[in-house]
Amino acid sequence: MFADFNPNKSYPKLTETKSVIRFQDCDPLRHLNNAKYFDYFFNAREDQVSELYGFTPGEIFEQFGAGWVVYQHQIAYIRPAGVGEWVKIMSRIIFYDHDTVIVEYFMTDTKRKQLKTLLWTTLKFIEVRTGKKTEHPAPVMSYLQAVTDTSFDRDSTDIKLRAREIKKYLAED
């Protein structure tokens, strides 16, 4: 339950999942269909949050009567992921404020040497009853503070530059 989240505990900021690219999700060239990247990213994040932070997004809706709704995506397709290929999917929150969160997702090969795709998803916190933006409650702000990666300047970095930074990081790792 979200109420059990401990803001004083040290939580990983970068989460990681291993996944296989399914035939049914690929195009005739045997590459992961562009739209399917979103499914892989969102499913991985949902699993990662549940496993590492101990709650599901549904619990946020239940406890606060609000939750995050996608506002915008920025995506860079770098290299294709192919049918039957095992990949790593990483995600992290890179920004938050009173009613907004930006989650960064990226996919690599299993050795984490080759960047395949980078996605930034902007989410707004929406009250279920009214369908309007609302502010994050204090416990949610504590969660965001505990798990947000602030290691780079998001305001001076666009997605193209960020893709280069991640490629460089992967090459050095």
List the domain range (segments joined by +) for residue 119: 2-172
What's residue 46's pLDDT?
93
Q: What is the DSSP annotation of 33-75?
A: PTTHHHHHHHHHHHHHHHHHHS--HHHHHHHHSEEEEEEEEEE
Distance CA 34, CA 75 (A): 10
Q: pLDDT band at 3, cuts 50/70/90? A: low
Distance CA 113, CA 109 (A): 6
What does the pLDDT look like over 13-22, one tens digit per residue?
999 999 999 9
What's residue 2's pLDDT?
66
| Count of domains forming the chain | 1
CATH number of the domain that residue 57 is part of: 3.10.129.10
What's the angle, vertex CA 112, arms to CA 107 and CA 117, rounded to 5? 20
What's residue 57's pLDDT?
81
The structure tokens listed for 42 are 């969102």
What does the pLDDT look like over 36-49, one tens digit per residue?
999 999 999 999 99
Nearest residue to 118 (alpha-carbon basis) of 129, 128, 107: 107
Q: What is the DSSP annotation of 120-149?
A: EEEEEEEETTT-SB-PPPHHHHHHHHHHB-
pTM: 0.94
